[in-house]
């Protein structure tokens, strides 16, 4: 595993994937701040005044993490911050799933991409957090990335984010029900 984490191409793929993930989440929250405040409040983990502060600061922190992931000297701390944020989000989701509150929106993305919370989402956050930790661990002994390594890694990260967002959108679609005409025709 250590050899794999030291690979610059993989390192850039993880960093770019996480950077776009955090930037996309932050920008969608910033465009719907009042709605996002409602999501944070609906988790019922913070007092109302603190929920508003978190709703205002979190997207800015996510943007800072995204930027840090793309700047090599800041990538290690940014990846560690990403791992901690993702673990914290997973914990907040797990608490609400344990409470039986699975109908609430995770707040991950805004703009029509609402997702109900579940144990699968807790698992998803654990995997994303592990990816961020892998990106943080890759820095100390990694060989220097060449231009081809960095470019290929960034492209791979962008492909990963497209697959991730596509899967999230497909997972959020309601189950298709047969039409009454199709049922009557049988």
Residue spans per domain, the chain: 2-184
- The predicted model scores a pTM of 0.79
Predicted confidence (pLDDT) at residue 180 exceeds the cutoff of 60: no
Residue 114 has, within 13 A of its CA and on its CB side, a CA count of 12
CB of 22 within 8 A of CB of 82? yes
Residues 6 or more apart in contact with residue 109 via CB below 8 angstroms: 24, 25, 28, 115, 168
pLDDT digits (tens, 9 = 90+) for 35-78: 899 999 999 999 988 999 999 999 999 999 999 999 989 999 99
pLDDT band for position 26 (cuts 50, 70, 90): very high
- The whole-angstrom separation of Cα 1 and Cα 44 is 39
CA distances from 12 to 25, 50, 116, 181 (A): 20, 35, 31, 52
pLDDT digits (tens, 9 = 90+) for 114-172: 678 999 999 999 999 999 999 888 654 556 667 777 777 777 777 777 777 777 666 66
Residue 7 has, within 13 A of its CA and on its CB side, a CA count of 10
Looking at residue 154, its pLDDT comes to 74
CB of 79 within 8 A of CB of 18? yes
């Amino acid at each position: 595993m250590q050899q794999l984490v030291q690979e610059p191409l993989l390192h850039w793929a993880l960093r770019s994937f996480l950077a776009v993930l955090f930037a996309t989440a932050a920008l969608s929250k910033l465009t719907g701040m009042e709605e996002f405040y409602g999501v944070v409040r609906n988790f019922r983990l913070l007092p109302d005044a603190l929920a508003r502060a978190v709703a205002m600061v979190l997207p800015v922190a996510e943007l800072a993490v995204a930027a840090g992931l793309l700047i090599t000297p800041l990538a290690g701390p940014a990846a560690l911050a990403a791992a901690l944020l993702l673990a914290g989000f997973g914990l907040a989701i797990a608490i609400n799933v344990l409470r039986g509150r699975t109908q609430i929106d995770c707040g991950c993305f805004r703009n029509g991409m609402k997702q109900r919370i579940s144990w699968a989402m807790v698992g998803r956050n654990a995997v994303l957090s592990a990816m961020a930790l892998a990106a943080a661990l890759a820095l100390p002994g990694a060989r220097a990335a060449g231009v081809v390594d960095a470019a290929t890694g960034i492209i791979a990260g962008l492909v990963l984010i497209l697959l991730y967002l596509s899967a999230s959108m497909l997972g959020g679609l309601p189950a298709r029900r047969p039409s009454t005409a199709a049922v009557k025709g049988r």
